[in-house]
Each structure stands twice: as C-alpha cells, then as structure tokens.
C-alpha cells in the first residue's frame, strides 16, 4: 500500500510536470525546434529560431496594436448555428462547439476599440484559430457591425485578416458574405473613414476576394502567405511547380498587391504614422538639414553652345536631387506606399504620404536613381503602366481624405518597351492625366528636372504648376529632335533653343505658374538652399488652394488647361502675302 501510494503521488506529479512542460515549451511547426514559451511570447509569438510568425489570438493582436495594451471589446451580434444542418465526418454544430471550447471565442470575429498613436481606432480581428478563420454568417455580421460602429464613432477601421476562406459548412450563405462585407466597406469609403487592412498568415479565398483587398492601404505582415487559391490547388490545376516565394508577402509586394511588408514588432508604430497623416493630425514643420553630396562630375559636353542646351545639361546633372532626395530632405513621417493593386510595384514612380512643411499630403514623383544599380532599379525615372496606375491610386486616396497632392515630376518620358505596350502604356498615361484633372483636392505639380513628353504631363496636371529654374519641359529630347528634323544630332543645341523648353519659356507661354529659383550654380551645387526654396514655394501654393472650395477645383483646373496655347505670340513667323 505504501509503495502504491508513493507511486500514485509520483504519477500525479509526473502529469503535473508534463502539463507545465507543455505550457513552458512550444514546438515550432515550421522548423520543428522546441522554443521556451517566454521567449516565444516576448518575441511577439515569432519563432526565435526560424522567424516564423504564428497566428495570434484576438487578445494578443489588440495588445500588440493598441497603445499601452489598453482596449475595450465591443459587443457583436450573434446568429443561429448550423442553418443548413450540415454534417461531414462530424456535425457542423459539433465543430462549432469544439472551436468555442478550444479558443474561448464565440466565432471567428472579435472587435475592440482603443487608441493607436493617440488616435481613437477600431480593430477587427479574424481569428485564424477558430475553424481556420473561415467566414460564415457570424463573421460576416461581425465585420458589418464593426464597420457600422466605426462609422458611427468616426474611427479609423483596421481589419486584421487571417483566414482559409469562406466556410464550407454554410455554403451559399458563406459566399454571400463576400458581397455583404463589400457593401459595408463601400460605406466606409463613402464616409471618408480610413480603412487599413493587415494581411497575416494565412489569408486566402473569399476573404482576399472581398473586404481584405479593398483597403485604402494594405499592410502585409512579414512572412504571411496570401492568395486566392491555395498553392497545391494551383499546382494541380496548371501542372507546374510554382516558385518558392509564391504567395508570400514579399511576392505580393513585388506584384503590386500590398503597400508594404512590415515585421510584426513594427506594426503599431507603422499604423500610428499612417493614421496621423490620414486623420490630418497637427504636425510641426520639419527643419530642413541636408548636405550636398560630393560628386566628381566632369563638365558636360555641349555647355556654352546655347543657353537652352545649358539648361538641358543642368537638368540632367548627375548630382541634381531627385524625388527620394526631396522626400528625405523635406518630408516628415514619410510612409512609402507601393503597388498598382493590379500587376506590379514600379520603382520608377515613387509615392506615399507624409508631412510637407507640416502639411499632411500625398506625394508622387519619378525617381531616377543615382548609382548604376539604383538607376537600373528605377529605370531612370521612366515608369511603366504600373507606375502610372499607382499614381492614379494615390490621387484617389488624396481625394478621399481631402489631402493635397504634390507631384515632383522628373523623367525623360514614359518607358518605351515591350512590357509597357503589353500592359497598356498609352491608356495608363491617358488615365493619369484624366484622374489628375478630375480629383477634388488641391494639386500642386512641380517640374524638378526633366519634363519629358507624356510621361511628365501624366502627373503634371495640377492646379498650380511650378518649375525649378534649370528644369526643362519638352515633347521630345533635343537630341532626338535634331536627328529627326535636322537629320543630324550635332544640331541638338540649336534644336533646344528652337524648342523653347526652359522654365522662362514655359512662363512666357503661360504653361507654368511659378519659377522656383535655384542656387547660382544650379540645384546640384546646394541641396539645402534648393529644398528650402522649393518646400516654401509648394507650401505657399497649397495653403492658398486650401482656401478654395474643393468641388470647384476640377472645373478651374480644366479651364486652366483649356486656355493654354491660345493666343500664343512667342515666335510667331512673319507672314508675307504672295503677289499674283
């Protein structure tokens, strides 16, 4: 008896030890290593061995995203269970009961209010642990109720998606949630309320094909797998092996579907920065403090031939600041936004949101690159259709949130290549012009270097058009013009003079509204002074335009361009009547 009693105690201790051990150690499903639970928790539920980010519970998400882990859960509607009386290996009602027992949640949707960066916000979480985060009637009703709550409270709405798709056990009733949730999202957009989607691992099926891909801004958590159909389904269907990075967060970024890929620990600060701009929080103007890079630039061939061609060479100077240089020097709280949501992220067209001298704004522009590698990456500022479609998306984003648009155009032209033609370069440029002329928000366009052809005017149809003193604006490069019309490239300087492409010429032709001075040697000699002059000129124009009723801006903008080229007196040839 004594031995048996001791044995029983040991057995109970062993069971207790096993329970504690299971709570203390977790086996990573990705790398198979045992991870100490405290380390796993302190690392935001990311495996410290292989960096795999695992599903977080709604509570863990709220603690991560809200300030000071302080939030209040909101009540969501309930629905009847098992409307189709569905049974597979188990009755659906039993699966629901098991999921509720395992997770402690009634269904896949949980919503809470709190602040992010001091901004009152609503966060809705699709719980991947509850029947794979599948969307049924309860989830649909929960999302709709959460959006209606955000609208009523005028709070930004953040949707955290994690799902295997529509819930099969509810069949058509689940499918209809795609349309129902989209109705609610449309109402969010109509009310001008920020809608940010956080795509986590995994997010698939009807969720990605509805509310999860309709955000103003899409953030993919680093390591997330995101798609419509699953990898195995696609491989079986097309009988091909897919690339190893297929449907990863980085893959979606490259293909223009998400604005950014953010590691889990940085999500709170990223959201706070974005919400600050979208909600137009007051912000002190950033002090410009930038050094001019030292560059060994040899004198360009052709300087001194004509004044106009000198401007061409100054506009192309290798040390002249480009789009990202102006962003780094002038803009505070900058967030780069990527992708056309259709095909690709085009690095030739930069875009994002931030504070321009304390003014929250959407900023777009061509980036040319500086080194051999970055010039190749940015394609010398010559954008593909994807870049211009991204610019259109940014313009519409600015209109929704009543943010001014600032464009810094600097390109030899839209990219002329096979892929551009295949994806509709002409249509993309034309649509960018049309979108820029129609948006109901202040729009200031600045020619900071080369204003080349349709690639420039695509993002140059502003209420106010500014031009740096040594920038140029033309339908074609003077070298090409000389080759076509003079039949010899050596007449490039003559062609430049004849084309009237300088800032002074543009002002005389009433094409631009203001010339922004440059330092004596050109913008490339003194970045600090250049940025101070440019930032102040743009800020002054925006402040003036913000006093105008935004509904009237498209009409006045259109009238401005309709009046251009009428009654041009410059360079009118002398007419001599023929004698008969």
DSSP-assigned states of every residue in 34-52: EEEHHHHHHTTSB-TTT-P
Same domain, 239 and 332: no
Question: pTM to 2 decimals?
Answer: 0.90
Query: What mean pLDDT comes out for the span 387-398?
Result: 98
Q: What is the pLDDT, as a whole number, of residue 576?
A: 45
In a domain, 577, yes or no: no
Q: What is the pLDDT, as a whole number, of residue 527?
A: 97
Please report where in the chains the tokens 């009961």 appear, as a residue: 97
Q: What is the pLDDT, as a whole number, of residue 198?
A: 98
Structural domain of 497: 312-561
pLDDT at 3 over 50: no
Same domain, 48 and 73: no
| Each residue's pLDDT tens digit, 439-497 | 999 999 999 999 999 999 999 999 999 999 999 999 999 999 999 999 988 999 999 99
In a domain, 573, yes or no: no
Please report where in the chains the tokens 């004198």 appear, as a residue: 299
> Residue 301 — very low, low, confident or very high, per pLDDT cuts 50/70/90?
confident
Same domain, 349 and 372: yes
Of 259, 278, 297, which residue constitutes the final position of a domain?
278
Same domain, 37 and 137: no
In a domain, 298, yes or no: no
Same domain, 46 and 65: no
In a domain, 360, yes or no: yes
In a domain, 569, yes or no: no
Same domain, 343 and 195: no
C-alpha distance from residue 223 to each of 30, 264, 316 (Å): 12, 9, 40
Query: What is the number of domains present in the chain?
Result: 3
Same domain, 555 and 420: yes
Same domain, 395 and 517: yes
Q: What is the pLDDT, as a whole number, of residue 7?
A: 43
Same domain, 319 and 170: no
| Each residue's pLDDT tens digit, 322-374 | 999 999 999 999 999 999 999 999 999 999 999 999 999 999 999 999 989 99
In a domain, 341, yes or no: yes
- Please give the structure tokens belonging to residue 107: 């269904």
- Alpha-carbon distance 408 to 331, whole Å? 13
Same domain, 359 and 419: yes
* Helix, strand or coil, per DSSP, at residue 512: coil
HSE, side-chain direction, 13 A CA sphere, residue 133:
29
Contact by Cβ (8 Å): 455, 382: yes
Same domain, 319 and 222: no
> Residue 16 — very low, low, confident or very high, per pLDDT cuts 50/70/90?
low
- Alpha-carbon distance 32 to 193, whole Å? 43
In a domain, 304, yes or no: no
Q: What is the pLDDT, as a whole number, of residue 41?
A: 84
Query: Crossing angle for the helix pair 425-438 and 385-400, nearest 10 degrees?
Result: 20
In a domain, 373, yes or no: yes
- Alpha-carbon distance 237 to 252, whole Å? 21
Beta bridge partners of 122: 113, 157
Share of the chain above pLDDT 90, in %: 81
Domain CATH code at residue 472:
3.90.226.10
Same domain, 411 and 502: yes
- Alpha-carbon distance 60 to 56, whole Å? 6
């Amino acid at each position: 008896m004594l031995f048996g009693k001791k044995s029983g105690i040991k057995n109970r201790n062993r069971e207790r030890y096993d329970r504690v051990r299971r709570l203390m150690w977790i086996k990573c499903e990705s790398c198979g290593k045992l991870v100490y639970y405290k380390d796993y928790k302190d690392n935001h539920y990311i495996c410290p061995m292989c960096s795999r980010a695992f599903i977080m519970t709604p509570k863990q998400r709220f603690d991560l995203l809200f300030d000071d882990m302080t939030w209040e859960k909101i009540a969501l509607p309930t629905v009847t269970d098992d409307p189709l009386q569905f049974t597979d290996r188990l009755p659906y009602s039993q699966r629901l009961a098991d999921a509720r027992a395992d997770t402690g949640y009634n269904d896949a949707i949980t919503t809470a209010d709190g602040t992010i960066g001091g901004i009152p916000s609503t966060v809705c979480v699709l719980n991947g642990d509850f029947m794979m985060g599948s969307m049924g009637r309860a989830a649909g009703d929960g999302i709709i109720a959460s959006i209606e709550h955000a609208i009523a409270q005028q709070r930004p709405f953040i949707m955290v998606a994690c799902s295997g798709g529509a819930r099969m056990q509810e069949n058509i009733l689940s499918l209809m949630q795609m349309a129902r949730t989209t109705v609610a999202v449309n109402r969010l957009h109509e009310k001008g309320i920020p809608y940010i989607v956080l795509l986590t691992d995994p997010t698939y099926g009807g969720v990605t094909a509805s509310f999860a891909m309709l955000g103003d801004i899409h953030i993919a958590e680093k390591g997330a797998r995101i798609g419509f159909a699953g990898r195995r389904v696609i491989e079986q269907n097309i009988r091909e092996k897919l690339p190893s990075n297929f449907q990863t967060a980085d893959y979606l970024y490259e293909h223009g579907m998400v604005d950014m890929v953010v590691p889990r620990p940085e999500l709170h600060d990223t959201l706070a920065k974005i919400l600050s701009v979208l909600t137009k929080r007051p912000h002190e103007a950033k002090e410009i403090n930038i050094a001019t890079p030292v560059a060994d630039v040899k004198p360009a061939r052709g300087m001194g031939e004509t004044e106009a061609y000198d401007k061409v060479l100054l506009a192309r100077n290798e040390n002249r600041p480009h789009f990202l240089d102006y962003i780094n020097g002038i803009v505070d709280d900058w967030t780069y936004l990527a992708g056309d949501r259709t095909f690709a992220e085009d690095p030739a067209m930069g875009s994002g949101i931030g504070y321009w001298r304390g003014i929250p704004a959407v900023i777009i522009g061509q980036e040319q690159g500086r080194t051999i590698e970055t010039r190749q990456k940015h394609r010398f500022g010559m954008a593909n259709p994807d870049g211009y479609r991204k610019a259109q998306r940014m313009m519409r984003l600015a209109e929704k949130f009543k943010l001014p648009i600032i464009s810094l155009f600097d390109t030899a032209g839209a990219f002329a290549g096979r892929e551009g033609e295949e994806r509709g370069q002409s249509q993309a440029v034309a649509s960018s012009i049309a979108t820029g002329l129609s948006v109901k928000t202040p729009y200031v366009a600045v020619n900071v270097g080369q204003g080349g052809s349709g690639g420039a005017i695509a993002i140059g149809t502003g209420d106010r058009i500014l031009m740096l003193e040594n920038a140029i604006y033309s339908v074609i490069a003077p070298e090409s013009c000389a080759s076509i019309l003079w039949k010899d490239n050596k007449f490039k300087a003559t062609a430049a003079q004849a084309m009237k492409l300088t800032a002074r010429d543009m002002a005389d032709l009433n094409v631009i509204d203001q010339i922004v001075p440059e330092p004596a040697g050109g913008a490339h000699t003194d970045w600090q002074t250049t940025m101070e002059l440019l930032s102040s000129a743009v800020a002054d124009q925006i402040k003036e335009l913000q006093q105008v009723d935004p509904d009237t801006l498209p009409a006045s903008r259109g009238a401005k361009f309709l009046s251009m080229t009428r009654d041009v007196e410059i360079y009118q040839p002398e007419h001599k009547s023929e004698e008969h």
